[in-house]
Amino acid sequence: MNNPESVKLEVFTIALKPLLDYPNNSLEDILKSTPGINPINNLFSEFVQLFINHIDSGYTEIRSKAFTLSTDTTEYGFDTTNENVWGVLKGGPKGSGKTKSPITNREEEEDLGGNVINDKYFFYLHFPLNGNVGYLFFQVYGGASIRGEFIQHITDLFKITGKYNKAVPYPILPNCIRDEFKGNSKIVEFNYITNILASSLTGDTAFSNICDKYHIEVSIKPKGGVNVTPDKVSVLNTIFSSLSLKNARLSDAVKKKVALQNLATKKISKFELDTNDVMPRIYLNGRIDIDDNGMPNFTELKTFCDSLLRELIEGHYSKIERQ
């Protein structure tokens, strides 16, 4: 079971990467250079078939994860006019888990004698034939995800020896999501989460012998009833990050979060601080229907991606800096 509150959507650009001396740069050019593609047919239909075959040949195993396309044909589709393809993957970490399936048998999703956890993940890819950048939406839960492995796998499709290297993914955020939280909220808390060796806190060996490492969370809250607006995140984070616990600076925290309270609904949401700006994740609870087991309604999620895509195509998004 997944927590409905943790279900979220992540968005990426997928940029083609031609070799320096190669003059072309488009999906159409890649497809015309790909063995097995019939240029007489609708090229996006050919791309969809190539894409589906790439993720539907049994379980793909990368590192400790495995995934494949759902066997339910109603859960995926494509639109050649708007150049979109979407669907549902099943998979997760290999090993013991709540729902597993044999890697060699994709039909028996509930076979507990198998060895891959089968969560369901929604993806949605828009890639114009005449363009060199596509947009990928990928739905994840709060725990371990197959997102990184899936992206690694599909970027191989855009590699052509002597012409293109693997495509490059980059995380982004639609501006409407960012502005939704920044325009009508106040800062209520900063959190800095770090792991510290006991020896960095004190030279007392008796203390270090009790436990050699600690997980420490520092909470900083504005007091006095003042509404501190999100545009102050940058200056506050700069100051707070300069604080330290002995030799451990908060700037080195493994996670930094800011909590914003919506002034109208009073709901508090926490967002990761990827930069000195608020870069909220797209939490789906309240935007689409999610059942008690944390499974999103994939039809509604596809429609939600349609609406966000229009903003991305117009260039209304911000990059999320990598950590």
**Percent above pLDDT 70 for the chain:** 87
Assess whether 200 and 110 both reside in one domain.
no
The answer to the question of residue 295 being in a domain is no
Q: What is the pLDDT of residue 110?
A: 39
Considering its fold, how many domains does the chain have in total?
2
Residue 190 to residues 150, 233, 264, 318: CA-CA distances in angstroms?
Answer: 32, 9, 21, 22
Give per-residue burial for 180-199: e unless 16+ CB within 10 Å, then b: ebbeebbbbebbbebebebe
Q: Report the predicted TM-score, pTM, of the whole model to 2 decimal places.
A: 0.73
Assess whether 43 and 160 both reside in one domain.
yes
239: number of Cβ within 10 Å? 11
The answer to the question of residue 302 being in a domain is no
The answer to the question of residue 85 being in a domain is yes
- Domain extent at residue 159: 4-173
Assess whether 140 and 193 both reside in one domain.
no
Assess whether 97 and 44 both reside in one domain.
yes
Assess whether 34 and 55 both reside in one domain.
yes
Instruction: Report the sign of the C-alpha dihedral through residues 215, 320, 51, 299, in that order.
Output: positive
Asked whether residue 9 carries a pLDDT value surpassing 70, the answer given is yes
pLDDT tens-digit map of 272-303:
775 555 555 688 888 899 998 888 999 999 99
Higher-pLDDT residue of 97, 312: 312
The answer to the question of residue 304 being in a domain is no
Residue 272 to residues 87, 200, 277: CA-CA distances in angstroms?
Answer: 28, 26, 9
Average pLDDT over residues 135-143: 89
Give per-residue burial for 303-318: e unless 16+ CB within 10 Å, then b: ebbbebbeebeeeebb
The answer to the question of residue 312 being in a domain is no
Higher-pLDDT residue of 254, 165: 165
Assess whether 233 and 106 both reside in one domain.
no
Assess whether 129 and 191 both reside in one domain.
no
Average pLDDT over residues 193-214: 88
Higher-pLDDT residue of 48, 101: 48
Assess whether 199 and 79 both reside in one domain.
no
Assess whether 122 and 255 both reside in one domain.
no
- Asked which of 210, 238, 263 is the last residue of a domain, the reply is 263
- The bridge status of strand 185-197 relative to strand 213-220 is antiparallel
The answer to the question of residue 74 being in a domain is yes
d(CA 275, CA 230) in angstroms, rounded, equals 13
d(CA 158, CA 49) in angstroms, rounded, equals 14
pLDDT tens-digit map of 44-83:
999 999 999 888 877 888 888 888 888 888 888 999 999 9
**Percent above pLDDT 90 for the chain:** 41
Assess whether 96 and 138 both reside in one domain.
yes
- Asked which of 227, 242, 263 is the last residue of a domain, the reply is 263
Assess whether 57 and 103 both reside in one domain.
yes
- Asked which of 173, 204, 228 is the last residue of a domain, the reply is 173
Question: Per the structure block, which two tokens stand in for 106?
Answer: 């994709």
The answer to the question of residue 159 being in a domain is yes
Q: What is the per-residue DSSP string for 176-198?
A: HHHHHHHSSEEEEEEEEEEEEEH
Q: What is the pLDDT of residue 115?
A: 58
Residue 307's SS3 state is: helix
Q: What is the pLDDT of residue 280?
A: 58
d(CA 129, CA 32) in angstroms, rounded, equals 11
The answer to the question of residue 234 being in a domain is yes
Assess whether 38 and 76 both reside in one domain.
yes
Give per-residue burial for 149-172: e unless 16+ CB within 10 Å, then b: bbbeebbebbebeebbbebebebb
Give φ, ψ of 125 to 5 degrees.
-120, 125
Average pLDDT over residues 237-250: 85
Residue 196 binned pLDDT confidence (cut-offs 50, 70, 90): confident
Instruction: Write down the mean pLDDT value for the chain.
Output: 84
d(CA 244, CA 85) in angstroms, rounded, equals 48
d(CA 157, CA 148) in angstroms, rounded, equals 15
